[in-house]
């Protein structure tokens, strides 16, 4: 009986029905998927992360073939690696350093000012319009 109760509790605690909003500029698939600001996203699902203020620099590595949504903290550097991801959205939050390696297409980076480096795939340079960078 105890093992059944433990199983039910575990299932309820880990379930994600997708109704939560993620940290980026729009709704995401769920709550924060990273334990710390040095994050390698789980490989089998989309990934959302909001960088913590006052913590270490935010470095997020998104999963290949999955979507990724990152919200940087304005007071620290933010580096996002997602060259093989399906889709990427990053809010640099006007941080002093935001370096993003996007997939070849399906990428939007907003509030990217200062030392803002955004590439598309492994070789292309993103299109900049004000503080927004995109990969077609």
Q: Could you read off the pLDDT of 94-104 as tens digits, one per residue? A: 999 999 999 99
pLDDT for res 45: 85
pTM of the model: 0.75
Model pLDDT for residues 80-128, shown as the tens digit of each residue: 999 999 999 999 999 999 999 999 999 999 999 989 999 999 778 999 9
Question: Can you list the alpha helix ranges (DSSP code H) found in 15-123?
Answer: none
In this structure, the strands spanning 115-120 and 127-129 are unpaired
Q: Is 17 exposed, middle or buried (0-12, 13-18, 19+ CB in 10 A)?
A: exposed
| Tokens describing residue 113 | 């000012």
Which residues, including other chains, have CB under 8 Å from residue 80's CB and lie 6 or more apart? 59, 60, 62, 68, 70, 88, 90, 99, 100, 101
In this structure, the strands spanning 132-135 and 127-129 are antiparallel
Domain residue extents for the chain: 33-135
């Amino acid at each position: 009986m105890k093992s059944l109760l433990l199983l039910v509790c575990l299932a309820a605690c880990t379930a994600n029905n997708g109704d939560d909003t993620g940290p980026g500029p729009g709704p995401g698939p769920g709550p924060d998927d990273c334990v710390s600001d040095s994050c390698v996203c789980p490989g089998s699902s989309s990934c959302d992360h909001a960088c913590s203020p006052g913590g270490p620099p935010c470095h997020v590595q998104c999963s290949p073939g999955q979507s990724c949504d990152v919200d940087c903290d304005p007071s620290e550097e933010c580096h996002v690696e997602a060259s093989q991801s399906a889709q990427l959205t990053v809010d640099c939050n006007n941080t002093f350093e935001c370096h993003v390696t996007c997939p070849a297409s399906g990428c939007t980076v907003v509030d990217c000012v200062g030392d803002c480096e955004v590439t598309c795939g492994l070789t292309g340079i993103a299109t900049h319009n004000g503080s927004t960078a995109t990969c077609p």
